[in-house]
Structure formats: C-alpha cells, structure tokens
Amino acid sequence: MKIAALIVEYNPFHNGHLRQIKAVRKLVGANGAIIALMSGNFTQRGEISCLDKFTKAELAINLGVDLVLELPVQGVLSSADYFAETAISLIQALKFCDYIVCGAECEDVRLLQGIALAFYLFQPLIGTSLTDLENNTMQKYQLPAATALPILRRQFQTDLQAALKSGINYAEANCNLLFSPTFWPYIAPLFPQRELEAGELQTAVRHALQQPNNILAIAYYKAALSADAGAGADAGATLAAKIRILPRETGPDLQSAHALRQLITAAENSPHRLLNSLIDYLPPISLATLIKAAQKGTLMTCEKLQPALSLAIAAAGLLKDFPDSANLLPTTDFYRKLSAILPDLIAQKGSFEFAAKSLSHKGLTVANCRRKLLRQLLNLPEPDKVTLNRLCSNAQYLRVLAYSSYPGKSLLKHLSKSIDTPLIMRFSDLVQKQNYITDAADFAYQSSSDYRAANYYALLSQNAAALEQNNYPAPIKRATKRKKSACSE
C-alpha cells in the first residue's frame, strides 16, 4: 500500500483541495491511502478556522482523505519554519509514508528546492549541526569545506538582522543576501537554472519568496533535510526525497482560500449571499456545511475575535498594575504598540485585522502579528526558540480526528502496532497514554495548549460539539464506498 501525507488547513475546503486529493489518489493508486496533517481550530496564517477541526476532518474524509491527524497548535501558531518542522516530525513518527505532498504557487520545483538547500546550509534550523548529510551536500555541489560553513552561517545571520533592522522586508533581505558577492559563489551551484542570467534568476527567487504557499513548500523541504540529517538517513530513503510539490492550478471554479475567507466574512450573516458567493468555488458538501454553520451561528471569522481580544488585552493591561502580574504583557515594541491601540480595541472601534495591521512593520508581517495576538487570546506564552524548536521537531503524540472505514481503519490498526508515538483517539488518551517519547513536561505543555485552543474555540463559536471533553469527541469514522482489495496490504 502506497501512502501519501498531505499538509493542509482546509479553511475553507475548496475545489482546489478536491483536485489536489484526486491528484494524490492517482499517485498512491486505488489501494493506497491519503493522510491529511491538518491545522485545527486556528491556522498558520494567524486566523481562526471557519469551521471547527472535527467538522473539517469529517469533510476531508467525505471528500477522499483516509485519515486526518491534527497539527499541534504550538507549531501552527508559529513561523513557517516551525510549522514545517511540526508537520515533518509527525510524518517522521508515522515511519512509512511514501510521499509528502504540498501545494505551491511556483511551477518550477527545482527553484524551490534550490532556495531550500541554500537556507538549509546558511540559515539552518536551531540545533542543526554539521553532519554527514550536509557534508555530502557540500561535496555534491562543490560547496566550501565544512570548516568554512559555520563562519558563513554566522555572517548570513548577522547580515540578515542588519538588513531587517534597516527596514527591508524578510523576503527581500533574504533574496539580496543569496545574490550578494559573499554568498552567491556558494549558492549558484544549488540552482539547476544557473544557466539563466543572474538578474533573471534573482527576480524568480524574489517572486517565489513573496508567495505564502511557496514559503511553506521551501520550509517543508528545509525541515525534511534537517530531520534527515538528525536521523542519519541514507540518500535513497530521505524525507526530502519524498516531497512532491503540486503547482497551484487556475480556472474559473478556483479561488484562493484567502479570497474565499473574505467572501465568507462579507456574507456570513446571510446564508443566501453565502450560497451565491461560494457556489462556484466549493464542493457541494463543503458549501452545505458552511451554510449550515452560518445558520446555526457557529461559522467563525476573524471579525468575531475582536470583542474577545479587547477583553483579553484590557484585562492583561489592568492586571499589570498588580505586583504579581508584571510579566503578563512583555515590554517589547510589539506590546508597546498594542498598548497604544488598546483604547480603540476596548471601544471596539478596531477589528482583529486592524490590530494586526497596526502592529506590523517591514520586519514583522501581518500574519506574524495575528499569530501573536492569537497566542495572547489563548494564553499561550511564546517559548524561546530553543524550546519551540524542541517542541516542533519531536512528535509528542498523533491526534486522530477522523478516519475512513477502509483503508483508514486498517491504517490505524497498523500504526498502533508499528509506531512508538502515542495515538490519541480522544482527549482522555492524553492522560492515559503518556508515553513521554521525549519529555513529560513537553508532552504536558503540548497537550494543554491543544486543550486550551479547542475549548476556547468552542466558547467563541458557542459550539458544544467543538469541546474537548473527557471522553468526547472520539474520532469521526465515516463509511466509504471503497472496499478492501484482495491484493491490498
């Protein structure tokens, strides 16, 4: 049985997602299986999910996925590098995936791989040391000796921070550095397109680094290289070699998830308008689910976060006056700016998006500000980079949200016998299955964060079905029309 892992958000589930699943089904074959690693009630873009994670997971199963696992919220509400590390660590824990599939705006996969290799070597993830894999990569592309790499890494980071402080945005700063006289001689061999004029290639790299799905695809490849290095993987069995990037399709029935969320926000109070706005872009079952949620009042948008954000920030600001609460709002530029717009937020004159845009600048994106605001709402302290890297690079558990009767159920049975990482079928398992693959404190921190995120979402959406209770909900099991083949194992 061929198995593919998809890294997804499904916010909302649209026609492009359905086409991706169909393409992956061709990749794995009729007897293969598709596993979706899905962000839950909050997303990497720093937004609240339109539908709760259980509803999204059920939709995914109904539309062709066989098993849905939840990406932990600590990794989800982090930058692309940590989000990718989280997803790759779960895939590594699964042990037997044949493909890792993601989408991208760029059709030139070689370009994205070249950028990822450059960042892997000169802007590595925390804890990445010189390994045989890195040395082999340097030999393959005739890059500098291992003794020179630490010096180049430090220089890259120093120059990058200086560029960001000068007001250059992150994508532009990275692109300028890659093509600078200091690094270009070492970077050039990583790009098969090096026969192009340097200026033309630089334009292509700059454009690629400005597209959100490209950035994530690069991060997945970089995280896979790092995981391979840590595991000492052979070249033929590496996670990086399993990555398949599907270029984004275009067509009259396709819209970006961002554009669809804007349509949902504009029409959320009118099921009729919602139907007319989305009918061309969503599969019928996905559209029906959104409309049903709108009718019940459980359809969520970032606009609904504003009152909760105002209350949370106001409460933290008031509590700061008490001696035991001095660290509730750290004294950084971000929180100083947050204090400045607090009156507007308390008076509900500014939306969640208003707050994020007001706090952003060239060195801090709007999406980053949204994630910081959501962390504030969920009372999730932002760990230091070393702690966050440890949490994201080690799968504490695999949380099952939904599965198909076949092959999802068979897949789960096989997983339970073959993997070391705990399979969490319902929230009570987090108490009963504490195997502590890495560390008890990390397990507790991760599980409590997911618990808090789920229940806060249920509170905001007034949706009891989204609650994480002791034994409820168990994963959603959906019968499928596919039957077990005599040749499938």
Q: Known binding site for ATP: residues?
A: 7-20, 103, 213, 248
Q: Which two tokens stand for residue 165?
A: 């402080």
Q: What does the alpha-carbon distance between residue 300 and residue 50 come to, in Å, rounded to a whole number?
A: 4
Binding site, by residue number, is: 7-20, 103, 213, 248
User: CA end-to-end span of the chain, whole Å?
Assistant: 6
| Distance (Å, whole) CA 406 – CA 415 | 14
**Cα gap 170→296, rounded to integer Å:** 41
Task: Tell me the sheet residues that pair with 424.
Answer: 399
Q: How far, in Å, CA of 335 to CA of 373, rounded?
A: 10
Name the DSSP class of 436: -
- 84-108 b/e with 16+ CB inside 10 Å = b? bbbbbbbbbbbeebebbbbbbbbeb
Nearest to 71 by CA among 413, 478, 396: 396
Q: Please, are residues 291 and 274 in contact by the beta-carbon 8 Å criterion?
A: yes
Tokens 């393409």: give the residue. Answer: 23
Look at the block and give the residue holding tokens 């074959």: 29
Say if residues 102 and 87 touch (Cβ distance below 8 Å). Answer: no
